[in-house]
A and B are shown apart, each in its own frame.
Chain A
Amino acid sequence: MANKEELLPEEDRRLVEERLKALDQGIRLPKSLSAEVLSQRLTVKDRKNYREADHPDFVAWRRYAGMVAALIIVLMALVVVTNSNFQLGGLIGRSTGTAVQENAAASADAGSSAAADQEEATSEEAARSRLYATSYADISAALGRAAVWQGSQNKTAVADAAPNPENADKAQSGVTGVSAVFQPGFTQSPGEMADSVKTDGTYLYYYTPSSAQQQEGKVSIVEAESMKLVSTVSTGVCAGVDLFVRDNRLILVERDMKNVASVLYDASVTTAESDGKGGKQQPEVSAADAAKEKQETDPYGVTAVSIYDISDPGAPKLARSFLQDGAYVDSRMVDSRLYLITSKSLYSQLTQVRAPLVCDILPVVRDSVSGGSHVLDAASVAIAPGCSSQVYSTVTLIDTAAENVQAVSNAVLGGASAYFSGSAVYICYDSRDEATGASSVGIVKMAAGQDLAVTAQTTLKGDLSQPFAINRMNDTLRVGTVAVEQGTGIKRNNIYLLDGTLRLVGSVEGFASGETVQEFRFVGSMAYAVTYRQERPVFALDLSDPADPGILGQVDMAPLPKYLYPVSDTQLLGLGQAADGKGLNLSSYEVTAGQVPKQQGSTALPGAECYSDALADSRAFLYDSGSKTAAFPVVCRQAGTDKGVGKLLYWGYAVYGVADDGSFTSRGIVSHTDKLDDSYILTNQLGVSRGLVLDETLYTFSGGRIVSTGLEDMKQKAELNLN
């Protein structure tokens, strides 16, 4: 290819350069960006970490401390051989005061410093010392307490489950489940979300699973302009793969991988080396058998990250791999930092099978940077006060731009769900008041910085009304709960507003009396509480002043659509089922602080019965601001009858233009086949699931194809068959 730079005449190029350089003269660095001024903004911790970076002894000490601590936990764990469900009785006679203080007490101890920064730093230190385990003994004690609570709640499940790995599913049915929480109100969440389709502006990266069960999938790398397949990357056998692309790196997050337990559970984490009498004892099972057991009881219980160097997209090279114990919960990227969250439930019947190994009781990670697997040390495990479940939420930070820097992992014992705000990860868990038995929701905040330190914790009355009832705006965390009054059974709806240290700054308790809120939606500074009475009243609250939230009361508006997308600070798009529950509507809203959103435009998709994947997965919804295009997958049918579903009208990707006034123009449906046959489309994987816009071209993706369509005329430009 000729050097295009030479095609611009030299004198023209010189003219452009001279004019640019003349402009450049005299532009000076402002004082605010001088080294002296910027250095003053560095925190004590930044400076300390900068200096300690060159002290490898510090890192090594922690690693050795972890190994020693692992031996201690086995000592403690052996006690449970004679008990069921990890009950440790009075063996651990320590005070757990450091682990179970309430937030109010910590606040009282936090000191009276006037400076907000110092107060916050002090509060962070207090939270850390209060929450982190000081040794594995703390963790064992917490496991014991959680087991007792679980045992009392799930007596039938425990009693009926035979001590046999084949009944693991039944045994674990009593364990609190974990849900992914990253779509508060289905609005945009901070941090980039992983997805099956990504682009870097030149290439398309697309994951497709194998059509056969239990087989590897692949990621196809396609040059967008030519629509040519450049290379593929095979993935493991897993529940699915989500991608990130960043700075010549293709990052695969392989969810719930199978067949990797033997890699993760190596000899270093399958130890049981003490007999409690000062001697050594061989583990009851070998590492291979422990891995096999993990595979059988928790076949999809490992999540993997693979990072490929795609400097040459035609020859991707594996640069780094990471395995993490636990089922996939979610992941986010901020700059080059990848945050991965998984959940590990402990096999509660294990002690009836054999003596536990360290890998049975603690999360395990494996980083190709350090080589070998290791369990998290006690200093990386925070125990959620009052936690009532034997579940770990493990959060890992991987800097994908620094391939020699080991990943950082911290875990919260008791975690049930997680919310990522961009600067913090909030782990929510079920808690209870031991005296009254009233349920509450606990929240542990982890700073999304280099060490993922726990910085705050609090407990609020009630349960999260739904996984999305938590949302952060500016520095205020908003949480919606429903509490049941002990004795009367009356339900009370609450909203709490918390500051950066999770201290309560404002609340509304017991609003919408007589109703039970099923769903909270946070839209800017407003909160909408939806109940499910026949007429579905909606209650609006103004949270613009966190210290003084206002109840606007019941508002006259149709419930907001299931999915909301912010186009700008003052406009939202909404996608949801029509009032009859069968059709599908796309609508737009004007949003003003302190007021109910005002609908601007609305359009119904043609077809009596329509559905879109975007209602369940916000990533399937596309809005391109450059071309002002909204698009989403859709399946539409004629009305069904008693004899069966209606005839398929179309199955593809609906594309709409969005005007500034909120009105819509249909541009058409992009389908990957002309054949209107459900079986044919499913068998050949031709249902469009994703789309993206690049250089005025719409690319749509199905399992079998990628199709490029001109956005101007909606005519197909090219097609690539992936099978």
Chain B
Amino acid sequence: MNVDAGAVRRAKEGNIESFEMVYSQVAPDLYKVALYTLGNTHDAEDAVSETFLEAFKGIRNLRDENSFRPWIMKILSIRCKRRIGQYVKDKNSIDIDEILDLSSNEGDPSQKAEVLTALDQLNHDERLIVVLSVLQGYTSKEIGSILSCPQGTVSSKLHRSLKKLRAMLS
């Protein structure tokens, strides 16, 4: 869904209803990115609610209204990274059953489980890059800006991750 730049401008000026509107326009994507990256609904919900609050407090610092979506996605990616950093044990796994329950009844469940199992083999950074590129449609340059890493690094990680996924899918 496109974000209404006029609503972003009003949100920057202090209109809370406008902020709620623009948040609603990106929230489903925020949730999905967090879900695949962190692997479970509980952490994903925490990350998105923290992103909401941080975006609420910081929106007046947003320079370009048309950049709201990548801006808030950047906040989310930072939140996800912080959460990952807090895992004392290396908690890399995706709760496959939980995500299958969320997904629609259309499509082959065994194929969906296979995709989730394959995603589970990637680390958090790789998952985040794949999701932002394939499901959210960001270019490598945009992803580099969101994740604050060089475009070349994003490209090579994306390539490696897609190759890994392909090798695991029937």
Contact B135 A4 (CB under 8 A): no
The residue that B103 contacts in the complex, of A23, A38, A46, with Cβ under 8 A, is: A23
Contact A26 B104 (CB under 8 A): yes
Contact B31 A26 (CB under 8 A): no
Residues of A within 8 A of B48 (CB): 33
Residues of B within 8 A of A41 (CB): 49, 53
With both chains docked as a complex, state the minimum distance between the C-beta of A307 and any C-beta of chain B, in angstroms. Answer: 14
Residues of B within 8 A of A567 (CB): 88
Residues of A within 8 A of B24 (CB): 34-35
**A566 lies within 8 A of chain B by Cβ:** yes
With the chains together, A49 CA to B53 CA distance in Å?
Answer: 13
0 or 1 for each of B35-79: is its CB under 8 Å from A? (1 = yes): 100000100010011001110111011000000000000100010
- Closest A-chain residue to B156, C-beta based? A4
With the chains together, A50 CA to B14 CA distance in Å?
Answer: 6
Contact B61 A33 (CB under 8 A): no
The residue that A46 contacts in the complex, of B13, B35, B57, B163, with Cβ under 8 A, is: B57
With the chains together, A79 CA to B90 CA distance in Å?
Answer: 63
Indicate whether A8 sits within 8 Å of B112 (C-beta atoms), given known contacts A34-B27, A626-B90.
Answer: no
The residue that A54 contacts in the complex, of B14, B57, B99, B149, with Cβ under 8 A, is: B14
Residues 622-637 of A contacting B (Cβ, < 8 Å):
625-626
Residues of B within 8 A of A723 (CB): none
Indicate whether A404 sits within 8 Å of B61 (C-beta atoms), given known contacts A21-B135, A25-B104.
Answer: yes
Number of A-B residue pairs at CB separation under 8 A: 148
Indicate whether A566 sits within 8 Å of B49 (C-beta atoms), given known contacts A4-B156, A54-B14.
Answer: no
- Closest B-chain residue to A449, C-beta based? B57
Residues of A within 8 A of B150 (CB): 202
B interface: dominant SS: helix
Residues of A within 8 A of B135 (CB): 20-21, 24
Residues 153-198 of A contacting B (Cβ, < 8 Å):
none
Indicate whether A35 sits within 8 Å of B156 (C-beta atoms), given known contacts A16-B162, A23-B112, A27-B35.
Answer: no
The residue that B20 contacts in the complex, of A39, A54, A202, with Cβ under 8 A, is: A39
Contact B56 A13 (CB under 8 A): no
Contact A53 B14 (CB under 8 A): yes
**A638 lies within 8 A of chain B by Cβ:** no
With the chains together, A77 CA to B39 CA distance in Å?
Answer: 61
**A51 lies within 8 A of chain B by Cβ:** yes
- Closest A-chain residue to B47, C-beta based? A33
Residues of A within 8 A of B89 (CB): 568, 625
Contact A49 B57 (CB under 8 A): yes
Contact B105 A16 (CB under 8 A): no
**B8 lies within 8 A of chain A by Cβ:** no
0 or 1 for each of A457-493: is its CB under 8 Å from B? (1 = yes): 0000000000000000000000000000000000000
With the chains together, A39 CA to B54 CA distance in Å?
Answer: 12
- Closest A-chain residue to B159, C-beta based? A4
Indicate whether A15 sits within 8 Å of B16 (C-beta atoms), given known contacts A23-B103, A27-B102, A30-B45.
Answer: no
0 or 1 for each of A1-31: is its CB under 8 Å from B? (1 = yes): 1011101100011011101111111111110
Contact B105 A26 (CB under 8 A): yes
With both chains docked as a complex, state the minimum distance between the C-beta of A536 and any C-beta of chain B, in angstroms. Answer: 30
Residues of A within 8 A of B60 (CB): 53-54
With both chains docked as a complex, state the minimum distance between the C-beta of B140 and any C-beta of chain A, in angstroms. Answer: 8
**A200 lies within 8 A of chain B by Cβ:** yes
Contact A29 B152 (CB under 8 A): no
Residues of B within 8 A of A26 (CB): 102-106
0 or 1 for each of A45-64: is its CB under 8 Å from B? (1 = yes): 01101110110000000000
Residues of B within 8 A of A450 (CB): 57
0 or 1 for each of B109-144: is its CB under 8 Å from A? (1 = yes): 001101110000000010000110011000010000
Contact A1 B152 (CB under 8 A): yes
With the chains together, A22 CA to B90 CA distance in Å?
Answer: 28
**A335 lies within 8 A of chain B by Cβ:** yes
**B93 lies within 8 A of chain A by Cβ:** no
**Which 10 residue pairs across A and B have the least CB separation, nearest first?**
A26-B104, A35-B20, A4-B159, A247-B148, A22-B107, A29-B28, A38-B52, A248-B148, A12-B166, A51-B14
A residues neighboring B (CB under 8 Å)? 1, 3-5, 7-8, 12-13, 15-17, 19-30, 32-36, 38-39, 41-42, 46-47, 49-51, 53-54, 200-202, 247-248, 335-336, 402, 404-405, 450, 566-569, 625-626
B residues neighboring A (CB under 8 Å)? 13-14, 16, 19-21, 23-24, 27-28, 31-32, 35, 41, 45, 48-49, 52-54, 56-58, 60-61, 74, 78, 82, 88-90, 99, 102-107, 111-112, 114-116, 125, 130-131, 134-135, 140, 148-150, 152-153, 155-156, 158-159, 162-163, 165-166, 169
Instruction: Beyond A27-B103, A200-B149, A336-B78, list 16 extra A-B contacts (CB 8 Å).
Output: A4-B156, A5-B158, A5-B159, A16-B134, A22-B106, A22-B111, A23-B99, A23-B107, A27-B32, A33-B27, A35-B20, A38-B49, A46-B53, A53-B60, A248-B148, A568-B88
25 A-B contact pairs sorted by A residue (CB < 8 Å): A5-B140, A8-B163, A16-B134, A16-B165, A16-B169, A19-B115, A20-B115, A20-B134, A22-B115, A25-B104, A27-B28, A30-B31, A30-B41, A33-B48, A34-B24, A35-B27, A35-B52, A38-B53, A41-B49, A50-B16, A202-B149, A247-B74, A335-B54, A450-B57, A626-B90
